[in-house]
Structure 1
Amino acid sequence: MTNEEEQQFLSSLEKKLWNAADKLRSTLDAAQYKHTVLGLVFLKYVSDSFKIRQDELIAQFTDAENDYYLDPADYGGADSDEYATEIAGELEQRDYYAEVNVFWVPAAARWKFLQDNNKAVIGGAELTLPDGNTKKFSSVGHLIDNALEQIEADNPKLKGVLNKLYTRLQIDQVKLGELIDLVATIPFKHASLNSQDILGHVYEYMLGQFALAEGKKGGQFYTPKSIVTLIVQMLEPFKGRVYDPAMGSGGFFVQSEHFINAHKGRIGDVSIYGQEYNHTTWQLAAMNMAIRGIDFNFGKEPASTYTNNQHPDLRADYVMANPPFNMKEWDTGVSENDPRWKYGTPPSGNANFAWLQHMLYHLAPNGSMGLLLANGSMSSNTNNEGAIRKKLIEEDLVECMVALPGQLFTNTQIPACIWFLTKNKGTRTTAAGRKLRDRKGEVLFIDARNLGYMKDRVLRDFSTDDLSQVTDAFHYWQMGEGYTDVAGLVKSVELAEIQKHDHVLTPGRYVGAAGVEEDSEPFAEKMARLTAQLKGQLEESDRLEAEIKQNLAGLGYEC
């Protein structure tokens, strides 16, 4: 399969699922139908991943060359009830799923049970559960809520995370049953995409669509995939502790997993830490990790990063975040003497440098961080911001600044940039195996404002080549191999030059304008040529004007 064919396959799924969500708009508001659809997507995802693992195990149990082989001769033959019972029993052993990082799904929460019974419980019915017990269900919503309760009971990390709201939904139960049947049509057998690729893509797509549907409120926790990809590719989080103090739905963690898998690393080598204030978003992030089998620590509860730090002792190897831009009145209950404000107390009217210093505080001695902020953070001198930025520069913490093009976000037109900082610009080898040179006293500026393409009339996106252009420049510069300044795009600058610019970090100040090809034609010769060309054009204009007048006169018009 080509990438184009894969994209067509995924696009058809996107359309189908978004149409399903659209059917609920008449009875539910955006926040409700988001959880209604995503909850079912979650159940379908974990169920299908579980079923795929079951099919693998059955093949292994019946393969004489496999270590898990169950010899039919020991159980009365391949067609005996004893042999079937033995295989069925083995399929319910959790260890088989845990060893390949597949999420455990209790029998009453599996998609087949929901689909087989969703019509039967409309109006209420008593069902026989997979364990042989019976239970009365009042509605389709009750059937779904029961599945989520079963999952929570068997997966303590999801306690309080899943939205068991279906029983309370003011929605036609027949329509909810139809939605189950529609979600059931998501195909998982594909030549080059596995189930995780497929539904993971759908999940991320729908988060983005809900962000658009809900406007600014929804978009606060959805970072465009291209920006997340850029930051992850530049930092290369192969091994160690990864932290996002404003994690939203967990996009940085998901992209880190994609990066690790693409480079043949092991997701088990990375520890995930996050924090989120919004309870709904905190739930989405936990679900996002669970469907991928990623272990995580998001703290005991959703909480403010400023007043209720969930990871006070964490020192992370990689810190990545897209916090709310220019957040006001963030410091209620925060002490001016907070140990995080090592480089100056951030102003009450803007949290940009509070986020930045919080991330630095949690950064390990050899750690690196990428932070998305509004462009004003690069030049503002308001209320101590300039003094903080100056100290960060003088302490040699700033490694790279990237100016981004406009129209990348679904919910804001505020121009944005990415700060890359590190506590160690000295020679060392990264977890990705890169041998970094001594970069002390240098900062790399990248002006990416002219990169990207319009994916539709509203939103801009980065192509793979755009991402590589920025990422390669950064890595080549770090290693000191193959790097050269490119006018209008990238320049390596020493601290002395930044000081001359009053510690302003706007890339456009340093990279200059794109080079114009030198004109090799001597000026006198060029002037003579252009004058002769103009004379010829004027003469031709006079000839055509005379011809037009003659033709009009022939038609009886006076000129």
Structure 2
Amino acid sequence: MNNLDIRQDTINNAVWAACDTFRGTVDASVYKEYVLTMLFLKYVSDMWQDHYDDYKAKYGDHPELIEEMLKTERFVLPPQANFYALYEQRHLPGNGERIDKALHAIEDANVSKLHDVFQDISFNANKLGEEQQKNDILRLLLEDFIKPELNLRPNRVGQLDIIGNAYEYLISKFAAGAGKKAGEYYTPPEVSTLIARLMEPKEGDEICDPTCGSGSLLMKCGRLIREHTGSRKYALSGQEAIGGTWAMAKMNMFLHGEDNHKIEWGDTLRNPKLLDGNGLKHFDIVVANPPFSLEKWGHENADKDPYHRFRRGVPPRTKGDYAFILHMIETMKPKTGRMAVVVPHGVLFRGAAEGRIRQQLIDENLLDVVIGLPEKLFYGTGIPAAILVFRKKKQDDNVLFIDASRDYQDGKNQNYLRESDLQRIQDTVNARTNVDKYAYLASPKDIADNDYNLNIPRYVDTFEEEEEIDLMAVRKERQQLKAELVKLEEQMAVYLKELGYE
């Protein structure tokens, strides 16, 4: 079978079907990590086997040469950590322990890429049930991934990014069912695409997401550079507070071949880890979809922040939106720095401390574009969001407002941005001119006159005037209808008389 016969949805469906092994026994919030990790293990095993077979065909009589060639691969797979070795022993007791040992062996053999990635997941944990049940579940999971549809060897799938796409597919499916927790690790793909395009990433750029989740937003930026230049000369950096989600980001980067990355585990606001010496590292591009209005973000220590991120003001104790924004502002490079951040609409107009911070950012001429998005785009919340674009070097001192809230594909439970919607936003940003009922280029005076309130309807008038009613025409139509009704009544009377009714 050649790679033209491989369909993305075939692999996606096969991986999603593997989740049936857990359904009804283990909650989805738990089993998602097991399925995603098994997909990772199967992929690296298939890739390793494919490369081993290629070297054996070339150097069959020289096993020592094969061993040396395998050391030059992107990763090392110890023999006991191979998926197929685990599959062969699936009927024996101790599946959970064997899988855990395999994952730790892979970590130890690939420390620079996978250090601590599997520390928060244990296939031998009691959450999978008592020993016999756990062993049976894991046997079935190994059998799910041995299916022909999940032969992930490069000589079958070619250069297609089928594995990375399947991983993203699984993350999106889990996010769709995760309620409010979904935002902790997933940004809808069309929103990621829009942000990446707005940032116009270039070869050589250093790109950061301080709340990177599963890493999809960072990888969209990298993919644009590869598509436009064919180059992998760029660096991706991120930080994620949740251990399991951080591990997903690391595996996701690996599956997509993004080796030039640095993903740190920790709380960005309380303990930023992307540093340069004693200060924050600066980036060409900073993008993020932070948790909306985070209540416990670290207000108690903000006034003593060693990185001076809150010199424009300390955000409210119970709303961390501007804490993330101020962190991102401080990490932009002085000349090339640009950033895009997803925020709830309250960020645009709330007063007090947030109003003072907002005014200072505008007076410093950092805010470039405000884009209102449709409702129900994000998993777990129906509220509409906005994208704020900031630049260290703007082409003018105006702010472009775009109301894109009415352009979307209506889904059953979720709305989607179409390619035409994305292109309209991008074209409007590039043109930077007024568009009736869609965009308005506001001057500093316009914004000051509105008391630095950025609520989009203050700038983009989407009001549709109702068509004037011609009362005389309506009266004439009403008279005609009355005359027709008289004729119908007369005709009905004739019919009734003919039928013998008086």
Please, what TM-score do these two structures have when normalized by structure 1?
0.78
- Using the TM superposition, give the Cα deviation of residue 510 of structure 1 relative to its aligned residue in structure 2, in angstroms: 1.6
Letter in 2 for 1:406: E
**Aligned pair partner of 2:347 in 377, 384, 405:** 377
**Aligned pair partner of 1:544 in 475, 488, 492:** 488
Aligned residue in 1 for 2:437: 488
- Counterpart check, 1:499 vs 2:448: yes
- 1:237 aligned counterpart, secondary structure: coil
- 1:211 aligned counterpart, secondary structure: helix
Aligned residue in 1 for 2:415: 460
- Counterpart check, 1:123 vs 2:121: no
Alignment size in residue pairs:
481
Aligned residue in 2 for 1:76: none
The verdict on how the C-alpha distance between 1:52 and 1:540 changes in structure 2, with shifts beyond 3 A counting, is farther
- Counterpart check, 1:292 vs 2:256: yes
Aligned residue in 1 for 2:430: 475
Letter in 1 for 2:439: V
Aligned residue in 2 for 1:430: none
1:478-504 per-position Cα deviation (integer Å, ceiling 9, x unaligned)? xxxxxx422121222211111112212
Aligned residue in 1 for 2:99: 144
Aligned residue in 2 for 1:354: 323
Letter in 1 for 2:150: I
Aligned residue in 2 for 1:176: 138
Aligned residue in 1 for 2:229: 264
Distance in 2 of aligned mates of 1:551 and 1:189? 81
Residue correspondence of structure 1 range 31-110 to structure 2 within 5 A: 31-53=29-51, 61=58, 83-86=59-62, 89-90=65-66, 93-94=69-70, 96-98=72-74, 103-110=75-82
Letter in 2 for 1:394: D
How large is the Cα RMSD of the aligned pairs? 3.1
Moved more, 405-414 or 49-58: 49-58
The verdict on how the C-alpha distance between 1:111 and 1:240 changes in structure 2, with shifts beyond 3 A counting, is same
Letter in 2 for 1:316: F
- Using the TM superposition, give the Cα deviation of residue 337 of structure 1 relative to its aligned residue in structure 2, in angstroms: 4.5
- Over the matched positions of the two proteins, sequence identity in percent amounts to 30
Distance in 2 of aligned mates of 1:461 and 1:192? 32
Assess if the C-alpha contact under 8 Å between 1:307 and 1:333 holds in 2.
no
Aligned residue in 1 for 2:214: 249
- 2:293 aligned counterpart, secondary structure: coil
The verdict on how the C-alpha distance between 1:503 and 1:174 changes in structure 2, with shifts beyond 3 A counting, is same
The verdict on how the C-alpha distance between 1:556 and 1:389 changes in structure 2, with shifts beyond 3 A counting, is farther
1:129-181 per-position Cα deviation (integer Å, ceiling 9, x unaligned)? xxxxxxxxxx2223322321221011113221115511234244233222222
1:88-117 per-position Cα deviation (integer Å, ceiling 9, x unaligned)? 83365246434xxxx4433333333333x1
Assess if the C-alpha contact under 8 Å between 2:371 and 2:404 holds in 1.
yes
Distance in 2 of aligned mates of 1:466 and 1:56? 46
1:178-237 per-position Cα deviation (integer Å, ceiling 9, x unaligned)? 222222332558999756522222211211222233322244222111111110111022
Letter in 2 for 1:293: G
- Counterpart check, 1:234 vs 2:198: yes
Aligned residue in 2 for 1:397: 366
- Counterpart check, 1:15 vs 2:8: no
- Counterpart check, 1:159 vs 2:115: yes
Please, what TM-score do these two structures have when normalized by structure 2?
0.87
The verdict on how the C-alpha distance between 1:160 and 1:557 changes in structure 2, with shifts beyond 3 A counting, is farther
Distance in 2 of aligned mates of 1:280 and 1:385? 32
Distance in 1 of aligned mates of 2:158 and 2:446? 51
Moved more, 39-48 or 385-394: 39-48
Letter in 2 for 1:35: E
Q: Which runs of 5+ in 1 are unaligned?
A: 62-82, 125-138, 426-438, 478-483
- Counterpart check, 1:413 vs 2:382: yes
The verdict on how the C-alpha distance between 1:216 and 1:55 changes in structure 2, with shifts beyond 3 A counting, is same
- Using the TM superposition, give the Cα deviation of residue 368 of structure 1 relative to its aligned residue in structure 2, in angstroms: 0.5
Letter in 2 for 1:319: V
Distance in 2 of aligned mates of 1:260 and 1:454? 31
The verdict on how the C-alpha distance between 1:314 and 1:555 changes in structure 2, with shifts beyond 3 A counting, is farther
Residue correspondence of structure 1 range 193-204 to structure 2 within 5 A: 194=158, 197-204=161-168
1:60-102 per-position Cα deviation (integer Å, ceiling 9, x unaligned)? x5xxxxxxxxxxxxxxxxxxxxx5133783365246434xxxx
- Using the TM superposition, give the Cα deviation of residue 458 of structure 1 relative to its aligned residue in structure 2, in angstroms: 0.5
The verdict on how the C-alpha distance between 1:549 and 1:328 changes in structure 2, with shifts beyond 3 A counting, is farther
